Amino acid sequence: MLTKFARYFNLTNLSRISVRTLPCSSSNLNSKADYTTNVQKNVLITGGLGQLGLDFANFLRGRYGRDNILLTDIKQPTEEALKSGRFEHLDVLDARRFEALVVENRIDLVIHFSAILSALGESNVQKAIDINIHSVHSVLEICRKHKVQLYCPSSIAAFGSTAPRNPTPDFTVQRPRTIYGVSKVHMELMGEYYAEKYGLDFRSLRYPGIISSDSMPGGGTTDYAVHIFYEIAARNKYSCFLREDSTLPMMFLPDCVRGTVKFLETPREKLKQYTYNLTAVSFNPKQLVDAMRPHFPQMEVTYEPDPVKQTIADTWPQVFDDSNARRDWGWNHKFGLEDMVQVMVDKVKSMK
């Protein structure tokens, strides 16, 4: 299996060009030394103890050097996070400390992951405004002042029910009705404004729901697609908080890491947009259950839609059009539904 992953993570044909100036108007599965490059880039990751952060840190440590990647979060680090490399406590609302860490560590790239996700945001709107909107203002200013590349992921949540849902292109009406979605549109527009106005190297990818085998999701509407594996492995039963026909775009975390790093290493002059849609496959809970059933023939799944999460899901893209990313910088996903299911099943069965 590692050989397969090694192939998926091979980025050696990517350009090594530094990506600081823009003429643009317009897990452990992957921490192998094979991916080390001669690029010495100092990277600070905020919100690094969430679903995505540690996999990104491990991959980047294999690529740019272990000591060059600084993982930060407001939470207590786990043993695993501490063992993996450098960690500092950072509340992203503390702009002075944020700036000090960037300066002291001679940071070249900030990956701004701190966020309150879709479902959680609806039950804590003020916190979502603080973290998803106010911290973006700070990080934009810090990166502008110190000429640091800035990556902030966006989301399918940046679209609402008035956008075409199948497929949803990069450029269409963006009128989300969640605070999470509103904050992601705000972030995209602020980042693009700073890029145009100040030449900041701002980049963003709109992620679909991310499925991960080593970390748990943090309060999103697509979380069922991870929870179901753990619940079925433990109890053979799962109550799904979305209807069985709720089709949403999804992507496996190793693809997300590999694609994002490829995007960040693409010379800016090759990019035609600051923000791109990114996806792998679309499926609904029933299709996921059908793909899991050969591995768990006795599994029992019921559908008890949560009113908040179901309402959100009903307004989101069903099929994401990421053809611009595929054309402009060579994005391609490796994991389809069957591949993801196989890795997830192997993982949860190995835990028994």
Q: Does 226 bind ligand NAD (CB under 6 A)?
A: no
Q: Which is nearer to ligand NAD, 53 or 285 (CB)?
A: 53
Per annotation, catalytic residue among 8, 64, 151, 180:
180
Contact 51, 212 (CB under 8 A): yes
Contacts by residues 171-177 (CB-CB < 8 Å, ≥ 24 positions apart): 176/315, 177/315
Residue 238 is a catalytic residue: no
Kindly tell me which residue out of 80, 88, 91, 170 binds ligand NAD, with binding defined by CB under 6 A.
Answer: 91
Q: Does 136 bind ligand NAD (CB under 6 A)?
A: no
| Structure tokens given for 110 | 């900030």
Q: Which amino acid is at 221?
A: T
Q: Does 155 bind ligand NAD (CB under 6 A)?
A: yes
Q: Does 195 bind ligand NAD (CB under 6 A)?
A: no
**Whole-angstrom distance, CA of residue 184 vs CA of residue 172:** 15
Contact 133, 184 (CB under 8 A): no
Show contacts with ligand NAD in window 311-340 (CB under 6 A): none
Q: Does 65 bind ligand NAD (CB under 6 A)?
A: no
Q: How far is the CB of 89 from ligand NAD (least distance, A)?
A: 9
Kindly tell me which residue out of 218, 305, 330, 336 binds ligand NAD, with binding defined by CB under 6 A.
Answer: 218
Instruction: Kindly report the length of the chain.
Output: 352
Q: Does 285 bind ligand NAD (CB under 6 A)?
A: no
> String of b and e for 21-47 (b: at least 16 CB within 10 Å)?
ebebeebebbbeeebeeeeebbbbbbb
Residues that bind ligand NAD (CB under 6 A): 46-47, 49-53, 73-75, 90-93, 113-115, 117, 131, 153, 155, 207, 209-210, 217-220, 222
List residues with catalytic annotation.
Answer: 180
